[in-house]
């Protein structure tokens, strides 16, 4: 049965140009962009619908994106004992320097579930692509790329490493962890990360999921067999193809291309390089 109403809105635009020159160069270039706004319109009387897991909560709320990441907003890391002593929330929870500091959204002097906010959506708000084609004197080159931005990734990979005792520490955490006053204002200490306080779903676990990728590049040379080798010779096409040779992103995981936005040790799609020879009789 239906439990709600979702609205997707946005616009798409694509432009393409093809041209031939007097000296035999043919080329084409194109591009496309699209925007997306995903919004929960109605939940038929329910204030929200939860998804995800108890540790990594996602929530659908009217006026927000479907299955948005939902948790606490951080305000840095406690740097010293003086900051702890000056904060009643830190004192009440027996915190130490190196623990995360959460925003008291409602100002009641308590850090609890009422302070949770929407931390972003796995759905991109902007998508783009481009393509290029060139042919000249038997050579042809084609390339295309695409990308997206505005989406977030829940770095569950980082969390799962912490919850086990037989795996190495996440390299990003090991490098950037708090290990003394002034060393980090965004990563907790290696001691503190195993505390329940620091394992709350917060924006510490939610990263930017934007990326762009060169999806395919192919360079080929076409040989007219009869002109080069004589009558009856076959036509030849020699090509080199690179699939996914380059992906650019800031996310600290193995790949930023994660369809549902939840990284559970997602293995990246590999690059593939191919040399081809086609013979046409």
Instruction: Please write the tens of the pLDDT for every residue from 198-232.
Output: 999 999 999 999 999 999 999 999 998 878 788 88
pLDDT tier for residue 167 given thresholds of 50, 70 and 90 = low
For the chain, how many structural domains are there in total? 1
Task: Kindly state whether residue 168 falls inside one of the protein's structural domains.
Answer: yes
Task: Kindly state whether residue 79 falls inside one of the protein's structural domains.
Answer: yes
The reported pTM is 0.87
Beta carbons within 8 Å of 273's beta carbon, 6+ residues apart: 240, 241, 242, 243, 245
* Dihedral sign (CA 182, 185, 191, 196): positive
Domain limits for position 81: 73-113+156-204
Grouping H, G, I as helix, E, B as strand and the rest as coil, residue 171 is helix
Task: Kindly state whether residue 15 falls inside one of the protein's structural domains.
Answer: no
Query: Comparing C-alpha atoms, which of 208, 33, 7, 39 is closest to residue 126?
Result: 33
pLDDT tier for residue 281 given thresholds of 50, 70 and 90 = confident
Task: Kindly state whether residue 83 falls inside one of the protein's structural domains.
Answer: yes
* Dihedral sign (CA 100, 105, 108, 110): negative
Instruction: Please write the tens of the pLDDT for every residue from 67-106.
Output: 999 999 999 999 999 999 999 999 999 999 999 999 999 9
């Amino acid at each position: 049965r239906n439990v709600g109403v979702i609205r997707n809105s946005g616009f798409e635009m694509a432009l393409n140009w093809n041209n031939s020159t007097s000296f035999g160069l043919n080329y084409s270039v194109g591009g496309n962009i699209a925007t997306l706004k995903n919004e929960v319109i109605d939940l038929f009387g329910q204030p929200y619908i939860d998804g995800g897991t108890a540790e990594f909560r996602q929530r659908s709320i009217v006026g927000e994106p479907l299955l948005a990441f939902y948790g606490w907003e951080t305000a840095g890391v406690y740097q010293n004992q003086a900051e702890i002593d000056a904060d009643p929330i830190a004192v009440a929870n027996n915190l130490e320097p190196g623990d995360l500091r959460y925003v008291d959204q409602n100002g009641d002097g308590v850090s609890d579930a009422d302070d949770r906010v929407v931390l972003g959506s796995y759905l991109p708000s902007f998508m783009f692509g481009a393509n290029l084609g060139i042919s000249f004197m038997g050579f042809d080159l084609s390339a295309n790329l695409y990308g997206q931005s505005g989406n977030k990734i829940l770095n569950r990979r980082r969390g799962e490493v912490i919850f086990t005792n037989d795996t190495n520490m996440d390299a990003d955490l090991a490098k950037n962890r708090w290990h003394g006053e002034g060393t980090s204002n965004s990563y907790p200490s290696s001691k503190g990360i195993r505390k329940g306080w620091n394992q709350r779903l917060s924006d510490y676990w939610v990263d930017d999921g934007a990326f762009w990728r060169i999806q395919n590049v192919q360079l080929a040379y076409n040989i007219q067999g009869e002109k080069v080798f004589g009558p009856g010779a076959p036509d030849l096409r020699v090509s080199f193809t690179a699939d996914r040779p380059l992906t650019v992103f800031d996310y600290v995981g193995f790949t930023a291309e994660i369809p549902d936005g939840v990284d559970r040790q997602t293995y990246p799609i590999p690059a593939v390089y191919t040399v081809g020879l086609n013979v046409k009789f």
